[in-house]
Amino acid sequence: MNRTHTLLFLILLFPLLHSCATAPKTLMREDPLIGKIVEAGTQRFIDFNSLVDRLADQDVIYLSEKHDNPMHHAVQHRIIQELINRGKSPVIGFEFFSMEDTPHLLNFLDSGQAAHSKKQEAVIEKDLRIKLGWENQSDRMWKFYFDLVSLGRDNGLTMAGLDLSQVLKRRITRKGISGLTRIEKEQIFSTEYGNKDYQDHMETLFKEVHCGMGHGKMTKKLYDTWLARNDKMALSITQLVGQASGRGPVVVIMGNGHTEYGLGVVDRVKFLAPGITQKNLSMVEITREPSGLEEYFFPLDLQGFAPAPPADFLWFTQRVSYKDPCEKFRKIFKKMKSRKEMNPGGKSESETEDSPGTSTT
């Protein structure tokens, strides 16, 4: 499984697994690329200040992550703090929260206007976590995002969710767009920006990242969900650019798969608002086996799209795990298959909300 497939695998499977995520106990591979920043256009190393120089004047900055890598969240924090230090007032948009969650984030922002005791702060955090639907997720993952939300509050920054609601995402994955009711379809924004070659490419990836265990109907529903989410997040980002009103860039906290090769969300923002300037910093884990720099910049060759590097800038980090991601995935499917054989009249894999196929974040 190559790097692109691994990133997409984690994007699809993450909500199913991150509630029990723990720090891996595995031997880390040393690599001279760790901590290095590379400008894709020149494939030259640049330092942190040069990176921020190139990002600061953009309308939109994507800080594209692997969700469970703490180093990626540390980089995000550092860049946002540096933008603040330079007099910017970035607006932070989160993939992991829906646009409907935005009032909860803004209420939390308002809480920074008064001093609170540690006990009161703990109550405020717990309340926010519940309202955002994260009370049953792992403390480790929550702290990654709460750190960024707290940074926003402590500096008076506007924050917003970008995505569809969890319920609607699950409905699309279970039913497909065509299977939704009219009232549900009216809640979904579509750019009408489609490309058959891109769809074929993504559906191929969905099959590959499911370790050969996907099937046609579910693959189509996954693509429906993927498209609906990217369209919604692109719309949200363009709306936030208007909210920023030149005070600072919109900083997008998002998984790598939604931005890689300038596709997914990035090209839809460009389609909706061609005048918006965008740069994508992708935080990239080193490969399992040693690789040359050129291997990280292998362009996507997709008909209808100009060859492009994975991102405008790459920041290399250590891996969270060196294990085969398909190993755990196969065990999950084996258990699901056993349950289905024991209960043949029950729900199928494609109808079960706990199925890996329904995990599309």
**pLDDT tens-digit series, residues 56-91:** 999 999 999 999 999 999 999 999 999 999 999 999
d(CA 29, CA 48): 24
What distances in angstroms separate CA 239 from CA 93, 157, 189, one per listed residue? 11, 16, 13
Strand, coil or helix: 89? coil
pLDDT at residue 227 greater than cutoff 60: yes
Which letter, b or e, does each residue of 111-135 get, where b requires 16 or more Cβ atoms within 10 Å of its Cβ?
Answer: ebeeeeeeeeeeebbeebbeebebe
**Interstrand relation of 37-39 and 44-46 (parallel, antiparallel or unpaired):** antiparallel
pLDDT at residue 295 greater than cutoff 60: yes
d(CA 112, CA 325): 40
pLDDT at residue 357 greater than cutoff 60: no
Identify the pLDDT of residue 248: 87
CB neighbours of residue 72 within 10 Å: 25
pLDDT at residue 333 greater than cutoff 80: no
Helices and strands (H and E) in the chain: how many: 13, 8
Answer for the pair 273, 238: CB distance below 8 angstroms, yes or no. Answer: yes
Answer for the pair 109, 176: CB distance below 8 angstroms, yes or no. Answer: no
Compute the mean pLDDT over every residue in the chain, rounded to the nearest whole number. 87
d(CA 296, CA 318): 14
pLDDT at residue 25 greater than cutoff 70: no
Angle among Cα 249, 7, 66 to the nearest 5 degrees reads 50
The torsion angles phi and psi of 92, rounded to 5 degrees, stand at -100, 125
pLDDT at residue 210 greater than cutoff 80: no
Least confident of 62-71, 198-207, 265-274: 198-207
Average pLDDT (156-183) is 96
Checking 263-266 for CB contacts under 8 A at 24+ apart, the result is 263/198, 263/300, 263/305, 264/230, 265/62, 265/230, 265/233, 265/234, 265/237, 266/62
Phi-psi region of 329 (alpha: psi -120 to 50; beta: other; left: phi over 0): alpha
Answer for the pair 231, 189: CB distance below 8 angstroms, yes or no. Answer: yes
Residue 347 burial by Cβ neighbours in a 10 Å radius (0-12, 13-18, 19+) = middle
Q: How confident is the model at residue 5 (pLDDT cuts 50, 70, 90)?
A: low
**357 DSSP assignment:** G
pLDDT at residue 39 greater than cutoff 90: yes
Answer for the pair 286, 319: CB distance below 8 angstroms, yes or no. Answer: yes
Identify the pLDDT of residue 361: 46
pLDDT at residue 113 greater than cutoff 60: yes
Residue 17 burial by Cβ neighbours in a 10 Å radius (0-12, 13-18, 19+) = middle
More confident call, 325 vs 147: 147
Average pLDDT (316-344) is 80
The tokens describing 303, both together, are 């008909």
Average pLDDT (3-15) is 48
d(CA 251, CA 238): 12
**Interstrand relation of 91-98 and 159-163 (parallel, antiparallel or unpaired):** parallel
Identify the pLDDT of residue 350: 40
Average pLDDT (45-52) is 98
Q: How confident is the model at residue 53 (pLDDT cuts 50, 70, 90)?
A: very high
**Residue 121 is which amino acid?**
E
Identify the pLDDT of residue 61: 98
